[in-house]
Amino acid sequence: MRHLYNLYTYKGKHYLPEGGLLDLYTLDGGYYTFRTQATYNHTFAEKHAIEGVAGFEFRQTHSRSTSNEQVGYDDQTQTNSTYMTNLYDLYKLQHSDISNAYSPTGYRIKDFTSTDYLHRFYSYYFTGNYTYDSRYSLSASYRVDKTDLFGSDPKFRGRPLWSVGASWNLNNEKWMKDISWINMLKLRASYGLTGNINTNYTSYLTAKISTENIYGGKKAVLLTPSNDQLRWEKTASWNFGADFSLLDNKLRGSLDYYLKNSSDVLSTTDVDPTIGWDELTINNAKIRNQGVELQLSADILRARRREDWGVSADFSIAYNSNKVTAINHEITSGYEALKSSTYHLNKSVHSLYSLRFGGIGLDDDGNQQCYFIKADGTKIAAATFESSFEAADAVYSGSLDPKVSASLTPTITWRGFSLSAMMVCYLGHYMRINANDWTIQMGTEYEEPVYSNMLNYWHSSDPTAYLANGRPAYNMRMYDDDPAFFDFNVVHADYMKMRTLVLGYTFPSEICRKIGVGGLRLRVQMNNVFTWARNSKNIDPESVDPYSGQTLLRTPRSYTMSLSVNF
C-alpha cells in the first residue's frame, strides 16, 4: 500500500487516502451428487458366472465468487475511505512525485468482480462380465454422460462411451496343472472409447460484462462465439496385458502395452476471420499416446517367524511417448510458438521451445541489449511479442514429459522391526532454469523484494557480463522474462529421489496383552530424504517451474512419528 500511496502522489497532493489496502475475495460452492445403483451376481451350472452393475448418477456444481479492493482501510475500526476517493482522477493521473521513471498510468483500484458458475451432469452406465469355467472371461461397459456444456446441437449432448474386453486364465487349464512354478497367469486385451470434458469452454456465445469507467454504462466484451459442434474429447484405447504369479507366489506382477488415439481434442484452430475471430479453440487436434508398463512385487526372503529376516520389494517402470498427430492451425508468431499451451505437429504434447542465444552487447547509444539468433542466422534484439520474432525463429528444446518413470520400494523386517524406503526416478525430459537470473528488472516497482544476483551487474566492470537491471535496463528492447527463454537455460530434467524412509516396530503380542491392547506399533518417517539431479547445478526439478524456469518453494525435509494402538 505504501508503494501505491507514493505512486499516486503528484505535486504534493495525495490521490489515495491514508490507511491500508484490503483485498476481499469470497468463494461459495454447493456440490450435489445423487446416485442409485443395482448389482447382480449369479453362477449357473457351476461354470457360468455373470456379474452386472447398472446405475444412474446426477451431479450439480454451483460456485459463486466476489472480489473487491478497498483503500483507506483501518483494521481496528473496520472502516475504509474508498467512497471518498475520486476514481476518475486516479484513472487520469499520469505523473508521480517519485521520479519521471514512475508513472501511475494503468494503476487503479481493482473493480468489483463476481462470477457465478452452474453446471449439471447426469449419467447412466452399465458394466457386465461373463466368465466360463473360471478360464475365459468377456467384459463390456457402456456409459452415457450428458451436460449443459454441450447443448446447441442435440447430437452432441450425450456421447456414448464404451469398452469391451476379454481375458484368459491359463493357470486353470488342465495342461497347465503340471507346471508348478506358475501359480497364476492371465492374458487380457481390451478396447474402449473414453471421453474428457473441459468446463472452460461452452457451446454458447459468452461475454464478460463490466461497467464503463468514464460514463458508467454497461459494456460487454465477447469472449467466445457460439459453437454448436462443441463435443467431448474422445480417446480410443487399446490395451494388451498379462498378470502373473510365479514361484510359490514369491514373484507377482503385470505387464501392459497401451495405445491411445485421442481425437476431437480442444485446440487453437484457424477460422474464417469474417466471423469476427481469426482463431478459436474448437475440437480439432489429434494426439497419439503409447507406452509399456511393468509392475513387480517380490518376496525375496520370506520370514516364517517373527525372529526371521524378511526382505521384499515392489518395483514399477513405465515408458511413454506422445505426439500431436494432426492440427489445423498455423503458428503465426514466435510468441505463440513459445507458449506452453501451443500444440506443435509431430512434437510432444508439452513441448519446450526457446530462443537461440546471440549474446549480450551494447547498442550505438551504449544501452545493453540481449540478442537472439533468427532462423536465417541474423542477430536482433527484440521482445518476444514483436513481429520480428517469427515462428521459425523458435527452436525445439525437448519435451516436458518424462519418457521413463520408475519406482522402487524395498522393505526389510526382523524381530518386529521394519525398514522401508520409497524411491522414484524420472528420465528423458527437459526443463527451463535460471529465470531469476535472466529476468529484466527495470526498477520501476519496489513493493516486492529483488533477487540478490542483481548485484552481479553492479559489481562487474564489464557492462555485458551480466544482465542489466534497474535504470540501465530501461532501454532494453527485450522485455520482462524474455531472456529467460534463451536455449542455454534448458537442461536435462532427469532426477532420482528417495521420497520416504520409514522405520517401524511392532510390539510383541505378549506385551500387548499385558497392557490390554490388541496391537501396538511405533513408526518414524523421514520425508524428502535425498535428491539426485542430472543438471550441473543440482537443481531439484520439483522446485522449479519447468516451462518458465521460475524457482518454486522447495519441499523441505521433514520427520514424523506416530503410535498406532488397536483395541
pLDDT digit string (tens) for 78-111?
998 888 888 778 778 888 888 776 777 666 677 7
Residue 144 has pLDDT above 70, yes or no: yes
Q: What is the pLDDT of residue 107?
A: 61
Residue 154 has pLDDT above 80, yes or no: no
Dihedral sign (CA 375, 381, 385, 386): negative
Quote the CA–CA distance of 365 and 466 in Å, as a whole number: 18
Q: What is the pLDDT of residue 544?
A: 94
3-state secondary structure of 465: coil
Q: Mean pLDDT over residues 409-422, rounded?
A: 96
Q: Mean pLDDT over residues 346-367, rounded?
A: 94
Quote the CA–CA distance of 546 and 537 in Å, as a whole number: 15
Residue 447 has pLDDT above 60, yes or no: no
Q: What is the pLDDT of residue 224?
A: 81
Instruction: Return the ∠ at Cα 417 (arms to 565 and 300), rounded to 5°.
Output: 125
Please say whether the beta carbons of 360 and 371 come within 8 A: yes
Phi, psi at 319, each rounded to 5°? -120, 135
Phi, psi at 46, each rounded to 5°? 65, 0
